[in-house]
Structure 1
Amino acid sequence: MRIGFIGLGNVGGKLAGSLLRNGFDLTVRDLNEQTVRAFIERGANFGESPKQMVESSDLVITCLPSPAVSAAVMEDQDGILAGMSAGKIWAEMSTTSEAEVIRLGGKVQNLEGEPLDCPVSGGCHRAATGNISIFVGGERSTFDKMLPVLKVLGVASCTQESLVLPLCLRFLQII
Structure 2
Amino acid sequence: MSIRTGFIGLGNQGKPIASHLAPAGFETTVYDIASAPVEELVAGGAKAASTPRELGAEADVVGICVPEDSHVLAVTLGENGLLSGMKSGGVILIHSTVLPETIVEVAAAAAARELDVLDACVTGGAGRAINKEITYLVGGPERAVEKARPYFDATSEIAIVYAGELGNGAKLKLCLNLMTYIQWAAAYEPMALARAIGLPLDVLESAGRSNGQLTDLMTSFLAAHKLPDDARKSDGFQDLMRGHMQIAEKDLAWALKLARQAGVALPVGSLVSQSMARLYGVDDEGRR
Fold-level similarity (TM above 0.5): yes
Deviations, residues 93-150 of structure 1 (Å, cap 9, x unaligned): 1122111111111111122101111011111111111110001111111101111210
Structure 1 equivalent of residue 163 of structure 2: 159
After TM superposition, the structure 1 = structure 2 runs for residues 19-30 of structure 1, keeping only pairs within 5 Å, are: 19-30=21-32
Deviations, residues 3-46 of structure 1 (Å, cap 9, x unaligned): 11000001100100121332221101111101111111121101
Q: Which moved more, 1:163-172 or 1:61-70?
A: 163-172
What is the identity, as a one-letter code, of the residue corresponding to 2:63? I
Q: 1:87 to 1:65 in 2, by over 3 A?
A: same
Structure 1: any 5+ residue segments left out of the alignment? Answer: none
Structure 2 equivalent of residue 105 of structure 1: 107
CA distance in 2, matches of 1:147, 1:157: 12
When normalised by structure 2's length, the TM-score is: 0.57
What is the identity, as a one-letter code, of the residue corresponding to 1:89? V
Structure with more of its chain in helix, by fraction: 2
Q: Does structure 1 residue 169 correspond to structure 2 residue 167?
A: no
After TM superposition, the structure 1 = structure 2 runs for residues 35-114 of structure 1, keeping only pairs within 5 Å, are: 35-114=37-116
CA distance in 2, matches of 1:172, 1:32: 30
Asked whether the 8 Å contact 2:119–2:166 carries over to 1, the reply is yes
Corresponding residue SS for 2:168: coil
What is the identity, as a one-letter code, of the residue corresponding to 2:136? I
CA distance in 2, matches of 1:173, 1:46: 32
CA distance in 2, matches of 1:132, 1:27: 21
- How far the C-alpha of 1:173 sits from its partner, in A, is 5.5
When normalised by structure 1's length, the TM-score is: 0.92
CA distance in 2, matches of 1:100, 1:80: 15
Structure with more of its chain in strand, by fraction: 1
What is the identity, as a one-letter code, of the residue corresponding to 1:159? A
Larger Rg: 2
TM-align CA RMSD: 1.6
CA distance in 2, matches of 1:142, 1:75: 20
CA distance in 2, matches of 1:157, 1:77: 33
Asked whether the 8 Å contact 2:60–2:87 carries over to 1, the reply is no
